[in-house]
Amino acid sequence: MRLLVDAHTLLWWLDDPALLSEAARSAIRDARNEVLVSAATIWEIVIKQALGKLKAPDDLEVAISSCRFATLPITVPHALAVRGLPAIHRDPFDRMLVAQAMAEHLQIVTRDTTLPKYPVRCLVA
């Protein structure tokens, strides 16, 4: 499987994996699965951290790498794919995750109840 973790999933994994569902923990732990973190997710975390809305490691890039997670850049095709999405979700970061998941055939690991309304596979975090 190729998994795309959202911001909360990433932060819970780094801080306290027990906050995640057993299915999510198992899938993330499984070395056969590729776990990706979107540049959009890092961007969202950094913005919210700067606003004092959440706490995250200052060395986020090192933390991601130490978990064997790979980063997923935002490409022009990803950005253009957002244009074709129905306006189900208003959050631009989550819309980018959906576009990336669709373009890259990824399963999103999330607790967001709106994302499964898009034609993407989701795993409950």
Taking each helix axis from N to C end, the angle separating 92-104 and 39-50, rounded to the nearest 10 degrees, works out to: 160
Taking each helix axis from N to C end, the angle separating 7-15 and 39-50, rounded to the nearest 10 degrees, works out to: 70
Contact 97, 45 (CB under 8 A): no
67-106 tens-digit pLDDT: 999 999 999 999 999 999 999 999 999 999 999 999 999 9
State the pLDDT at residue 15: 95
**Domain count along the chain:** 1
Alpha-carbon Rg for the chain in angstroms: 14
Residue 6 identity (one-letter amino acid): D
Instruction: Return the CATH number at 43.
Output: 3.40.50.1010
Q: Give residue 113's domain range.
A: 2-124
Q: How far is CA 73 from the centre of its chain?
A: 12
| pTM of structure | 0.96
